[in-house]
Structure 1
Amino acid sequence: MPRPRCERCQRPLAHCLCPLIPHLDSRTRVIVLQHPSETAHALNTARLAALGLVNAELRIGEVFDDLATLLTTPGYRPVLLFPGDEAEVLQAYGQGDDLPLLLIVPDGTWRKARKMLYLNPQLEALPRVTLGAVLPSRYRLRKAPEPGAVSTLEAIVQALNVLEAPAGFDALLRPFEALIDGQIAAMGAETFERNHGQG
């Protein structure tokens, strides 16, 4: 019989993360487009981001029919958080009255994220933004596929920390770190060191 789960964070009730999830407001609106294959992952970091940010939304799918409406949300300038030669490095909002960003964040493996762009030409056409100096991932359970690779949640936190400085969004990482600590405890320190320790 499956263990009862928290409806909000979707973790087993004994490991509910809701007390650690903050309630943070942001000038930036964050829309996470999650590939359906990501929803079953134990560390569903995109969901944690959407739960912890007041001005955020999580959409699940490969093709998004209401994209045109989403991208014309009044009062925001839509951009895609995705690296590439054309991507502009994020910088803090100016003192003027620039429109805040509607930050579209694909959530999936690189291959699946690229497929989502291909299937949604309006996404592909968006101006791209990227992180400048990427902080190392705190995701100690998975080897990064390449230097500078971070989880979706970490990418969102780093982006907001840059855009909305001096405001900080590191509180969003609390449930993520608790989740990782719990998984390390479950596997045992020795197994963790053997498989994930710094060699």
Structure 2
Amino acid sequence: MCPLIPNLNSHTRLLVVQHPSERNHALNTARLLALGLQQAELLVAESLAEHPQWLAALQDPHWRTELLFPGPDVPLVSAQPEDSRPRRLVLLDGTWRKARKLMHVNPALQALPRVSLPASLRSRYRLRKVPHPGALSTIEAGVEALRILEPGLPVDQLLAPFDALIDAQINAMGADLYARNYRTH
């Protein structure tokens, strides 16, 4: 799979805060995102208080830092060229429950302006049952945000190892088991 991981260079920086329980997950899409994008960093932590350098970075007024996380009345991510500061998007990696916990225990994340993705997006993650429309894996969310912010960036390259990983998992489980548990009719 390593040859499939691109080496993309974006203007937008991504910080993925990963819940510690996700670190060794077999389908760790946050790690794939961080490996394929030069301007992405993966921080495995439940509490940002243990990482004062990141707390300071999130509050740096020279950066336009936003949390990519859905919610009622959260505006869609957009380019907004009138704000010329460099942009940093923070993504939370974990189950929805763990992602909400990351927000709850980190006032610095709660204080960030939030942006979201269109709810009409569909996940390619065929091995998970989606809890609600628009629910995406971390790599898919990062790709879709970059697709909006940097239309010329070949972000689909980031999904090649993700797709290969899913295909390998489906092949390993067998077509019958996959059809019984994941296919929708």
Q: Give TM-score scaled by structure 1 length.
A: 0.85
Give the gaps of 5 or more residues in structure 1: 1-16
In the alignment, structure 1 residue 110 sits paired with structure 2 residue 65: no
Give the gaps of 5 or more residues in structure 2: none
Alpha-carbon spacing, 1:134–1:73, altered in 2? closer, same or farther (3 Å): farther
Give the residue type in structure 2 aligned to 1:76. W
Partner-residue secondary structure (3-state), 2:181:
helix
In the alignment, structure 1 residue 29 sits paired with structure 2 residue 13: yes
d(CA) in 2 for partners of 1:84 and 1:70?
24
Aligned ranges for residues 123-162 of structure 1 at < 5 Å?
123-162=109-148
Give the residue type in structure 2 aligned to 1:113. A
Partner-residue secondary structure (3-state), 1:89:
coil
d(CA) in 1 for partners of 2:144 and 2:138?
10
Query: 1:189 Cα deviation (Å)?
Result: 1.4
d(CA) in 2 for partners of 1:193 and 1:84?
32
Q: What residue is the counterpart of 1:62 in the other structure?
A: 46
Q: What residue is the counterpart of 1:122 in the other structure?
A: 108
d(CA) in 2 for partners of 1:141 and 1:102?
30
Alpha-carbon spacing, 1:141–1:106, altered in 2? closer, same or farther (3 Å): same
Partner-residue secondary structure (3-state), 1:88:
coil
Give the residue type in structure 2 aligned to 1:154. E
d(CA) in 2 for partners of 1:50 and 1:174?
14
Q: Is the 8 A contact 1:86 1:128 kept in 2?
A: no
Alpha-carbon spacing, 1:132–1:100, altered in 2? closer, same or farther (3 Å): farther
d(CA) in 2 for partners of 1:62 and 1:97?
31
Q: What residue is the counterpart of 2:24 in the other structure?
A: 40
d(CA) in 1 for partners of 2:158 and 2:80?
21
Q: What residue is the counterpart of 2:161 in the other structure?
A: 175
Give the residue type in structure 1 aligned to 2:2. C
Bigger relative contact order, structure 1 or 2 (CA pairs below 8 A, ≥6 apart):
2
Query: 1:198 Cα deviation (Å)?
Result: 2.2
Q: What residue is the counterpart of 2:176 in the other structure?
A: 190
Among residues 70, 77, 81, which one is paired with 2:64 in the alignment?
Answer: 77
Alpha-carbon spacing, 1:75–1:25, altered in 2? closer, same or farther (3 Å): farther
Q: Give TM-score scaled by structure 2 length.
A: 0.92
Paired residues, number? 182
Q: What residue is the counterpart of 1:5 in the other structure?
A: none
Q: What residue is the counterpart of 2:2 in the other structure?
A: 18
Q: Is the 8 A contact 2:5 2:158 kept in 1?
A: yes
Identity among equivalent pairs (%): 55
Alpha-carbon spacing, 1:92–1:126, altered in 2? closer, same or farther (3 Å): same
d(CA) in 2 for partners of 1:88 and 1:54?
27
Q: Is the 8 A contact 2:119 2:133 kept in 1?
A: no
**Greater Cα radius of gyration, structure 1 or 2:** 1
**1:41-60 deviation per Cα after TM superposition (whole angstroms, max 9, x unaligned):** 11000000000000010000
Q: Is the 8 A contact 1:91 1:163 kept in 2?
A: yes
